[in-house]
Structures are given as structure tokens and as C-alpha cells.
Amino acid sequence: MLQKTVTACRFLNVNIGLPYFSRILIKNPNSAEIESLFINEIANSPGVTAIEEFAMSYIKETRKLLVTARIDSVAGVISFSEEVP
């Protein structure tokens, strides 16, 4: 059951992850709300002990959201920068 949720069927479960279709990929989204959603999702991830840095910016040319964070976790410090479609 867990394997199905993690791979093939995860996209069908609206209770897992971020509400992309209802709150993020909409006309005139609320950027403060989106930032809060990302921060809460990261902070509540297993092993995360603190969010050291977080930044979010919209790339107008590609119509993508750039999310950058530096996270303290039980495995050490993790930094990432991801473009969200």
C-alpha cells in the first residue's frame, strides 16, 4: 500500500503534499499563502529540525516559481533550489 502511494498513485491522493491545483496553480494566487504552504510542508517533513533560510520568487519569463531553502535536518544541513512548474 505504501509503495502505491509513493509512486504511481500519489498524484491521485489530494491529502498528500501541496494543494497545487486548488491554491497554487490558480489565477491570481496569494503569494504569502503559497510561501506559508511551502514553509509548513518543509517544516513538517520527517527529519527537519529547522528552516535556516527560505526564499521564493516568480520567474516571469518561464512562468515558474523558484523555491530556495537551507534546512537543518537530522542528516545535516540541506540546501536546495527548485523550479516549480
Could you read off the pLDDT of 6-53 as tens digits, one per residue? 444 555 666 778 888 889 888 888 999 999 999 999 999 999 999 999
Residue with cell 520567474: 59
Residue 12 has a pLDDT of 62
- When pLDDT is averaged across residues 61-75 and rounded to a whole number, the result is 93
The pLDDT value given to residue 3: 40
What's the whole-number mean pLDDT along residues 60-69?
91
Q: Note the pLDDT of residue 10.
A: 53
Task: Tell me what pLDDT residue 24 has.
Answer: 86
**Nearest C-alpha neighbor of 85 from the set 73, 68, 67:** 67
Alpha-helix runs per DSSP H in the chain: 2-6, 31-43
Distance CA 26, CA 43 (A): 24
What pLDDT does 40 receive? 94
